Amino acid sequence: MDYLSERELVRAAALDPCAREQLRLRVGLYVERKITELIDEGRIPQGFEAELIEVGTNPFDVVFNIYLKNARYIDEKEEGHFLDYYTWWMRQAVFAHLEAKKNPGEHKDI
What is the C-alpha R_g of the chain?
15
**C-alpha distance across the termini of the chain, in Å:** 33
pTM for this predicted structure: 0.81
Range of the domain at 90: 6-106
Whether 36 is in a domain gets the answer yes
User: How distant, in Å, are the alpha carbons of 69, 83, 84, 90, 102 from that of 63?
Assistant: 10, 11, 12, 9, 25
Whether 1 is in a domain gets the answer no
Q: How many structural domains is the chain composed of?
A: 1
Whether 16 is in a domain gets the answer yes
pLDDT tens digits, the chain, 110 residues: what are they? Answer: 666 788 888 889 999 999 999 999 999 999 999 999 999 999 999 999 999 999 999 999 999 999 888 876 665 555 557 888 899 999 999 999 999 988 776 655 55
